[in-house]
Amino acid sequence: MAEHEAIIERMRDSILEADDDEAVAAAEAALAAGMDPLAALEAGFSEPIRELGEAFNRLEIFLPQLVLSARTMQAGLKVLERALTTAAREAARKGVVVIGTVEGDIHDIGKTIVVAMLRSAGYEVHDLGTDVPLPQFINVAEQTHADIIGMSALLSTTMLRQRDLLELLQLKGIRDKYFVIVGGAPATQAWADSIGANAFARDAHEAVLCLNARARNVTSRA
């Protein structure tokens, strides 16, 4: 047990210090020691990344620190993901999310943080990257049987694409299949309401809370 605690400590430190190699080594050590990959993921990677997200919101750390730690987590996560059994994945799965930065927009720092936080919270996330053509959101959502579409936009010009995607979903008669969440610096709750999105989140932490509330609703209605 002391060995397990020491490994969790190594994993936590790797995130706080944004040390990719150490995150990979510690994740491999967790698997070699026979630890449950989900439990290790939660205590070793998810908790510290959440703590950093909250510290960033309180302006206690700078953006590059959060971005580097989010990337470190992705590196360690890859090792653990390989070990997750299908059953464990299902247990952890709260929803399938297709997310990207809309076409014409190459900002990806905030979206990458949202992706890392959602993955660490148990969502299956398909990250389409940046400058994503609107039909691609829909094609991938249909192919992966997603239930959530997330769109990031950082420019007041490209945020209009969020509205266009909602219109495209209406036009195709599949609007109700998806919970659409929008975000990015120029977006607001009023904007989300005006274009008929299901939700808006100001930051990655709020995005997780919002989608968790949705997941609880879906489960209780099932």
CB of 186 to ligand B12, least distance (A): 5
Could you tell me which of 15, 147, 146 has the C-alpha nearest to residue 80?
Answer: 15
B/e letters for 149-159, b = 16+ CB within 10 Å, e = fewer, are bbbbbbbeebb
Q: E-strand spans in 134-220?
A: 148-152, 179-183, 199-200
**Is the CB of 154 or the CB of 165 nearer to ligand B12?**
154
Amino acid in the structure at residue 104:
G
With a CB cutoff of 8 Å and minimum separation 6, the contacts of 166 are: 175, 180, 195, 196, 197
Nearer to ligand B12, 85 or 156 (CB): 156
Shortest Å, Cβ 46 to ligand B12: 16
User: Toward ligand B12, which CB reaches closer, 75 or 148?
Assistant: 148
Beta-carbon contacts of residue 14 (< 8 Å; ≥ 6 apart): 20, 22, 23, 26, 72, 76
* CB nearer to ligand B12: pick between 29 and 154: 154
Counted residue by residue, the chain has a size of: 222
Distance, CA of 66 to CA of 203 (rounded, Å)? 13
Q: Which is nearer to ligand B12, 20 or 36 (CB)?
A: 20
Question: Based on CB atoms, which residue is closest to ligand B12, 30 or 149?
Answer: 149
Q: Residue numbers of the site for ligand B12 (CB under 6 A)?
A: 63, 99, 104-111, 113-114, 150-152, 154-156, 181-186, 201, 203-204, 207
Give min distance, CB of 83 to ligand B12, in A.
Answer: 28
Tell me how far, at minimum, the Cβ of 48 lies from ligand B12, in Å.
16
Strand order of the β-sheet with 96-101 is: 124-127, 96-101, 148-152, 179-183, 199-200
Instruction: Collapse the DSSP code of 96 into the 3-class scheme (helix H, G, I; strand E, B; otherwise coil) and give the result.
Output: strand
Phi and psi torsions of 5, nearest 5°:
-65, -40
- Nearer CB in complex with ligand B12: 114/169: 114
CB of 219 to ligand B12, least distance (A): 21
Nearest approach, Cβ of 215 to ligand B12 (angstroms)? 15
Least distance (Å) between residue 4 CB and ligand B12: 31
